[in-house]
Amino acid sequence: MEDTTVKSSKKVFTGQVISEKNDKTIVVKISTKKLHPLYKKYVSASKKVHAHDEKNDAHHGDTVKVIECRPLSKLKRWRLLEVVERAK
């Protein structure tokens, strides 16, 4: 029996949709907490990425997973993988 799963080296991040105004594009805010090496205090950092949403499935406030892909436009280097949780 063959194993059909392929291990991908592409990055996958989970974040919050903060904008869906463009057609087939969402803006996702990815928040992380990192321990500062000297002060031993957690520092919050966030970044915004533009992701391709082919079916316009994600909406403002949804928690989504995005995966790295080839450049699709000037800003889009990510693709929507799945909607983890819908906004209430």
What band does 6 get if pLDDT is binned at 50, 70 and 90? low
Query: For 18-77, what is each residue's pLDDT tens digit?
Result: 999 999 999 999 999 999 999 999 999 999 999 999 999 999 999 999 999 999 999 999
List of domains in the chain? 12-85 (2.40.50.140)
HSE at residue 19, side-chain half, CA atoms within 13 A, is 10
CB proximity list for 39: less than 8 A, separation 6 or greater: none
- pTM across the whole model: 0.84
The span from the CA of 65 to the CA of 53, in Å, is: 11
Separation between Cα atoms, residue 50 and residue 78, nearest integer Å: 7
pLDDT level of residue 5 (50, 70, 90 thresholds): low
Parallel, antiparallel, or unpaired: how do β-strands 42-52 and 63-68 relate? unpaired
22 DSSP assignment: S
| Higher per-residue confidence, 8 vs 82 | 82
